[in-house]
Amino acid sequence: MNQPEFTLRAATPADEPFLFELRRATMTGHLERAGESTDEEAHWARLRYRYDDAYVICCGSENLGLFKFFCDPDEWTIVQIQILPEHQGRGIAAHLLGEFPSHADNARVPVKLSVLKGNRAISLYQRFGFQVVDATDTSLLMRRR
Q: What is the pLDDT of residues 41-92, one digit of tens each?
A: 999 999 999 999 999 999 999 999 999 999 999 999 999 999 999 999 999 9
Give a yes or no: residue 1 inside a domain: no
Give a yes or no: residue 114 inside a domain: yes
- Under DSSP, the state recorded for 26 is H
Nearest to 99 by CA among 57, 49, 47: 57
Residue at 118: amino acid letter: G
Q: DSSP H helical segments within 39-128, as ranges?
A: 40-48, 92-107, 121-127
pTM value is 0.92
Q: Which domain holds residue 45?
A: 7-144
Q: How much of the chain is helix, strand and coil, in % rounded to 5? A: 40, 30, 30
| Spatial separation of the C-alpha atoms in residues 55 and 18, rounded to whole Å | 12
Q: Does residue 3 carry a pLDDT above 90?
A: no
Give a yes or no: residue 25 inside a domain: yes
CATH number at residue 35: 3.40.630.30
Give a yes or no: residue 131 inside a domain: yes
Q: Could you give the number of structural domains in the chain?
A: 1
